[in-house]
Chains A and B, each alone.
Chain A
Amino acid sequence: MLEIKHTLCPSCSVGCGINVILNDGEIVGTFPYKRHPVNAGKNCLNGRTSIESYQNKFQTALVSNSETDTEKAIGDVLKELNSVDASDVTVICSGNNSVEECKAIKEFGESKNYNIAFYADNLKDFGEVASYDDIENAASVFVIGDLLYENPLIGRRIVHAKQNDAKIYALGKSDKSVTFNIADEVATGSVQEFLDSNSANIEESSVIVFNYVDGQEDLEKLENANCKVLPVFSKSNSKGAFSVVDAKSEEEMIELLDNTKVLLVFNDDVVNDIDYDFTKISKIISFAPCENDTTAISNIVIPIKTWLENDGSFVNAMGESQAFSAVVESDVLSEIEIIEKLNG
């Protein structure tokens, strides 16, 4: 029996809609969600392959790389947590978690006096930000990062701005940037240099869109810009997580990791995100739907529901909250159910 159901793309913070195709209850593909106001049925390759996290999901818990019953693995997690001081435990919350999960993780961490960390691409929350329509209607758009290639459904808005006669200024990490192909002026230097050299061109009617910065001083500069800005995060609910947990810079994360003996990672790939020697941490425990660099080095891995099996809400980069519902039933525990078990 063929069914097509709505959900959200989990691949980045743009908040695109996506339809999934189910055949006899199995997720077999994606289908354009043309009614969705953010992307009108357009999805990038990451979005269209996002269902692979469901198709490649963990089938069992892993303790020291051996398959184990989930209940037993949760018991092992409790033993590890009870063996150290609360101050030695760090809980990683992630933009991959829904708003509801972020709240549960925060509550859990605070109730146990654990350290709580959240990393969002070394970026910060800018509160009120530019909307996607603001980009299209801007007189000039300053683009930091290859948004056309890396966040194509924001890139599309930049293309529309160009078609509306906006001037496009693009900064890339190298000259191989697709965004450069539509830009009027291009640069490959630092973010500071880019902002400084364009300070006279940045006006109230401009929008600055970015998906990276070189350092925290860039964030201050962007915060003080005389126009709207839009940070675009690599994870679907980073903007929503900001409203629950304060984000840390890479430097602050490294400082915290240096003082961590047990690291609880909730649906994140911190090993991929932060350049750090994670072998210095005694125990890494991951709660993840499928394999990533962090689960690969984790002592214990507890499977969690993928977003396709879960209900919740994500807040997209421009601050709109969007709810999603499970498209398929699952016996796998959600993060909230696991936290309830950890709380006893």
Chain B
Amino acid sequence: MSYVLAKSQNDDILKAGECGGAVTSILKYLLDEGIVDGVLAISPCDDVYDGIPTFVTNSEDLINTAGSYHCAPTMIGGLVQKYFFDKKVAVTAKPCDMRAIEELIVRHKINKDNIYVIGLNCGGTVSPVSGRKMIDRFYEADPDDVVSEEIDKGKFIIELADGSEEAVKIHDLENEGYGRRTNCQRCDVKIPRKANIACGNWGAEDGWTFIEINDEKGQELIDGAKKAGILETKSPADAAVQGREKVEGIMINMAKKVQNAIYPTVSEMDEWSRCISCYACRDVCPICWCFENCELNKPYFKDVQNIPPSPIAFQGVRLSHMSFSCVDCGQCDDVCPMDIPVSLIFDKLQKKYFDRTGYVAGVSDDVKPPLYSPEKTEL
């Protein structure tokens, strides 16, 4: 592992990028050199709250993906698995995206040799509809006037079209039921270290991106982009590295506090009582890759007369089958029509599994979860 500060040598990218434009520049290098067939990144569709995964094959279009979109709680693991197995792609990935990608690599559903992962440090994401309500309620601004947003130093900051900014403490927003998605509040993986590189502004000087180089492929990316003349780098000062560690440590401690407070409060059976067995949680789960052949689709689990559905027959089976691999991305919460906190229930059990085995889904270096390995007999 090594660190660099990086800055784009392209003026347009430097202007559009979040902090130095290194991410967009590295993606441009990969496309221009023909190293990848395309780039899967997030770009705003209707407005800044409407970030959607976009596949870019022309590097001139990458400018539309520059910047950060905290109100775009997307997940790209499933898309990579379903549509890009045979393609050389580069992706931008939050820690939960990366954890999903890693779990899918372990399951041979993503070819590690075909993918370049540009990791993005993440302090959390905000649901777009809730985010707009939050801005309407806690800020002086009209949500439609927001042109960009940022999470920094414990505040959710919005920038308006006239260049002015407003900031409110995330703690205050979350006390009122707004702010980051609940899974993000308890997420204790803030830097995607399984990615080839992990980028962000923590510890960075203004106008520079702080990059943690996690493997050989990551080093090749930096070296290649520099050689191509699109990236400038320098070594960060020790104080910058320590500053970044401090930010990460504070955020992890905050997450642990949330975990300790919230795990005891969830009542699985009460929450499951409103499950309608629509399978949205399963179908959106990036780790549940086999849903077309899923046992839960078998006739013995599909009794159309069985309304209301038995929670154990769906949620219970799925929990026992998948919880140890939960990456806590919160997609299941996001899509559940009944607002069941599915990820909370799964994450709570994953943490118990961690306590017994030390396995963290998408983070641990084990090839497979212990329940799939010879260690199973010891558990």
Also in contact, A2 and B129, with CB within 8 A (given A43-B335, A148-B276, A159-B339)? no
Which residue of the partner chain A has the closest CB to B54?
A4
Of A53-61, A112-120, A174-182, A226-234, the stretch lying at the interface with chain B is: A174-182
Q: Which of A1, A28, A153 has the most CB of B within 10 A?
A: A1
- Other-chain contact of A23, B83, B129, B278 (Cβ < 8 Å): B83
Q: B316 at the A/B interface (Cβ < 8 Å)?
A: no
Inside 8 A of A4's CB, which chain B residues have their CB? 52-54
Inside 8 A of B283's CB, which chain A residues have their CB? 48
Bound-state Cα–Cα, A2 to B82, Å: 11
A interface footprint on B64-82 (CB within 8 Å = 1, 0 otherwise) = 0000000011100001001
Chain A nearest CB, measured from B229 CB (Å): 29
Within 36-50 of A, Cβ neighbours of B (below 8 Å) are at 36-37, 39-45, 48
B280 touches A42 (CB 8 A): yes
A interface footprint on B127-168 (CB within 8 Å = 1, 0 otherwise) = 111100000000000000000000000000000000000000
A156 touches B54 (CB 8 A): no
Which residue of the partner chain A has the closest CB to B334?
A41
- Other-chain contact of B278, A6, A45, A146, A177 (Cβ < 8 Å): A45
Of B21-29, B42-50, B202-210, B234-242, the stretch lying at the interface with chain A is: B42-50
Q: B364 at the A/B interface (Cβ < 8 Å)?
A: no
Bound-state Cα–Cα, A254 to B83, Å: 50
Inside 8 A of B335's CB, which chain A residues have their CB? 32, 41-43
Q: B9 at the A/B interface (Cβ < 8 Å)?
A: no
B129 touches A149 (CB 8 A): no
Chain B nearest CB, measured from A161 CB (Å): 12
Which residue of the partner chain B has the closest CB to A45?
B278
Bound-state Cα–Cα, A32 to B83, Å: 17
Q: Which of B73, B331, B339 has the most CB of A within 10 A?
A: B339
B49 touches A35 (CB 8 A): yes
Chain B nearest CB, measured from A324 CB (Å): 13
- Other-chain contact of A153, B57, B74, B128, B337 (Cβ < 8 Å): B337
Chain A nearest CB, measured from B271 CB (Å): 11
Q: A3 at the A/B interface (Cβ < 8 Å)?
A: yes
Chain A nearest CB, measured from B51 CB (Å): 8
Inside 8 A of B112's CB, which chain A residues have their CB? none
Which residue of the partner chain B has the closest CB to A32?
B335
Q: A10 at the A/B interface (Cβ < 8 Å)?
A: no
Inside 8 A of A156's CB, which chain B residues have their CB? 337-339
Bound-state Cα–Cα, A178 to B277, Å: 11
Q: Which of B40, B47, B279, B337 has the most CB of A within 10 A?
A: B337
Chain B nearest CB, measured from A165 CB (Å): 15
Q: A15 at the A/B interface (Cβ < 8 Å)?
A: no
The 4 closest A-B pairs by CB, nearest first: A152-B337, A35-B50, A2-B55, A40-B129
**Which A positions have Cβ atoms within 8 angstroms of B?**
1-4, 6, 19, 21, 23, 28-29, 31-32, 34-37, 39-45, 48, 146, 148-149, 152-153, 155-156, 159-160, 176-178, 180-182
Q: Besides A48-B278, A146-B307, A182-B273, 11 other CB < 8 A contacts?
A: A1-B38, A29-B82, A32-B331, A34-B128, A35-B45, A35-B47, A37-B129, A40-B127, A45-B278, A156-B338, A159-B338
CB pairs A–B below 8 angstroms (15 shown)? A2-B79, A3-B54, A4-B52, A4-B53, A23-B83, A28-B83, A34-B73, A34-B334, A41-B127, A148-B274, A149-B276, A152-B337, A155-B276, A177-B307, A178-B307
